Structure 1
């Protein structure tokens, strides 16, 4: 029997990231996914593990990458599962110390396990995100990965990464995004994300939220008997990447005793080499020096505000024109207003990508640019020292191609 290709099989599954049909969550349950993987033991811990779930609206991708680098520097075999990807879905599953995207051999190994122990028919009900989540479980256990970090995709209570049953929960900044699924307020969204907690969870780390959210967080941790550690929220004038590195340092330092006890039986690598944490791809990333182009995936009002505020610290002395692209389910008008105000103060240019994929914010027709005209925008810009591209992960391929 021939073993199906992992990516090819996944391409036939329902992919909500592409369809944007989040209405399906009204009737969604994790139970079928949980029952499937438990019937095969695919999420069982072969040894003692440290599984960390990272949730939040903004910053969870960079925090997840920094956590992975930190634990790898400590000498632990570390696996990282994130979403979405920039170019290639293989980017979602990485293993230290280099954290390159998994290669074709890794995918073959996952497929051999899944299709030897199951059938295509049994697996065909999975969603594309569940499929990749399952792939990370199988590969991390197969390779005996001690520290496993799972970035939630959407929410927490209904997110496929919930079945990892995290020992540690890390909460990043809460903002208003995917409100049709998660709730219309930050308080409701926080509750959805807290739903990722399992009976295994012992410790919660969080960026200190607004008082109304903090009350919910403290009551939840008290009810569940969870240790809560708070870290200050992002101060004005500081790059969010610098702040998230400090947050991760705080997390790792506070986990030292817990880790040494929980993972005492695990051998570390022979030589621990401490090195600077690499910056996560696609976050305030310099794409080109001439012309100077920076990419960031900010795609909700809070993230836009934080990214704009981070520019002066991350790129001192530089002014930016902006190219943005917003998916139809985003609050384009609210974000466009913030971008307009920034470029007006900076005396720079503002562009919005207008295509079938990206929706032009209402009232900003004169700022539109068609995809075939992008090459003109990506040239050196008069009266500006750089171009900031943001609004969606999907824009990355437009400017990197």
Structure 2
């Protein structure tokens, strides 16, 4: 740290908030190459505390800029750092906070966010809270990643407070210098869960499993939801290869649960479990029937997820709580899973984006037997060839590009889909000065819909997030 005088500054910048009129404070200016821009600190020796004066929004914006996330930047050298060495070192600095509460580790291609949220809600209902819940990606606020399910009053979720985010980033400013965004948020989640004294935590894998930053924990149970083809460049080109990466979260002498027996992946899981001495279970063996409950996560694809949750609860010897599970979205704040945001016409938002997930979704849409309008955008790295074969021919498609560099431009999306599926009714929706591509696509879909029609918004987390953001505004 050096004094303001050393920076040629005689007073704090005008845009810094929280500067108090205290006589003779020792004002210092923190500066480093870390992922937090220069932080103004007021230090009061008499009271022995300091105040972070950077506004929260500025701080978070700078974190995203200096530590780009995979969600925003894709798999670049700065956003994705495979391997556990850096995370293990950071965990040591934090004092291994996860050792102070039991963890459940959840991996998978599709459904892991839903499974994690259902587990957190059910365990809080049966055992009491708070229960930690770490998931990704986020849609509207990065703090969605780090929550607790509280049982104070009615079951409800609470995101990590902004004050605790700022406290963590300032306390470990030097240590997070060379970490990825996901390593930082993983450390933050485990630190906060320990700080508030959670009874247990559900930790969702970010990508894969074996080399994921979350794989520093030793959980009481590892859970793997369904396996599909996604992020193939990083994880493998077959579901068997991808399963091998997911099985990397198995731990010796601990239990592991697989969503179901799949001929292409089952042998991989059995082999890994035998290799390390892991007790392996399959949900479809533990639970022959799935309880019929109405759940506010409306997608048909939730049925195998519910069975997976029931299997996990069976292993943990925790009762299944249908009342809590039925309100998972409401209690946990999980969004973008067949979320109905409007009626007349019905507008459904779903973040499913790989071929397996979209096949489920398009099939469910066809079961409505109603005129369907699909607002669709996709990232550049997705397997459009496989996705195109799943797209229903009787829908109208409003093609868009979310506000991110990762998005496939509308004109390219139109050309590719037209070549792959010349039978589809495609409407390219380019951005202009007045509205984004996504906003325009939704507006045109609404304009061409009757009250009884269905509008489906999907193909990308970013497309869904943009629509949800506009609804909130």
Provide closer, same or farther for how the CA distance between residues 197 and 99 of structure 1 changes in structure 2, counting only shifts above 3 A: farther
SS at match of 2:237: coil
Q: Distance in 2 between matches of 1:63 and 1:273?
A: 14
In 2, are the aligned partners of 1:240 and 1:310 still within 8 Å (CA)? no
Match of 1:100 in 2: 157
Match of 1:269 in 2: none
Provide closer, same or farther for how the CA distance between residues 278 and 379 of structure 1 changes in structure 2, counting only shifts above 3 A: farther
2:332 counterpart of 1:278: no
TM (normalized to structure 2)? 0.71
Q: Distance in 2 between matches of 1:254 and 1:122?
A: 38
Match of 1:358 in 2: 408
| Larger gyration radius, structure 1 or structure 2 | 2
2:431 counterpart of 1:373: no
Aligned residues: 372
In 1, are the aligned partners of 2:135 and 2:205 still within 8 Å (CA)? yes
2:208 counterpart of 1:155: yes
Provide closer, same or farther for how the CA distance between residues 394 and 27 of structure 1 changes in structure 2, counting only shifts above 3 A: closer
Match of 2:103 in 1: 51
Deviation track 1:236-288 (CA, whole Å, cap 9, x = no partner) reads xx81123322321232123217x9xxxxxxxxxxxx99533323311011011
Q: Distance in 2 between matches of 1:44 and 1:64?
A: 17
Q: Distance in 2 between matches of 1:27 and 1:57?
A: 19
**Deviation (angstroms), 1:123:** 1.4
Provide closer, same or farther for how the CA distance between residues 25 and 397 of structure 1 changes in structure 2, counting only shifts above 3 A: closer
Q: Distance in 1 between matches of 2:307 and 2:81?
A: 39
2:308 counterpart of 1:241: no
In 1, are the aligned partners of 2:371 and 2:395 still within 8 Å (CA)? yes
**Deviation (angstroms), 1:363:** 3.4
SS at match of 1:283: coil
In 2, are the aligned partners of 1:320 and 1:386 still within 8 Å (CA)? yes
Match of 1:134 in 2: 187
TM (normalized to structure 1)? 0.83
In 2, are the aligned partners of 1:292 and 1:380 still within 8 Å (CA)? no
RMSD (Å), alpha carbons:
2.9
Structure scoring higher RCO (CA < 8 A, sep ≥ 6) equals: 1
**Deviation (angstroms), 1:369:** 2.1
Q: Distance in 2 between matches of 1:185 and 1:24?
A: 26
**Deviation (angstroms), 1:39:** 2.7
Match for 2:396 among 328, 334, 349?
349
Matches within 5 A, 1:217-256: 217-232=269-284, 239-256=300-317
In 2, are the aligned partners of 1:319 and 1:386 still within 8 Å (CA)? yes
2:123 counterpart of 1:71: yes
Matches within 5 A, 1:190-229: 190-199=243-252, 202-229=254-281
Flag as ranges the 4+ runs of structure 1 deviating above 4 A. 22-27, 316-319
Match of 2:221 in 1: 168
**Deviation (angstroms), 1:304:** 0.8
In 2, are the aligned partners of 1:333 and 1:362 still within 8 Å (CA)? no
SS at match of 2:191: helix
Match for 1:109 among 164, 168, 190?
164
Q: Distance in 2 between matches of 1:354 and 1:115?
A: 36
Match for 1:396 among 445, 450, 464?
464
Provide closer, same or farther for how the CA distance between residues 361 and 301 of structure 1 changes in structure 2, counting only shifts above 3 A: farther
Matches within 5 A, 1:300-319: 300-311=354-365, 316=368, 318-319=370-371
Matches within 5 A, 1:80-99: 80-97=133-150, 98-99=155-156
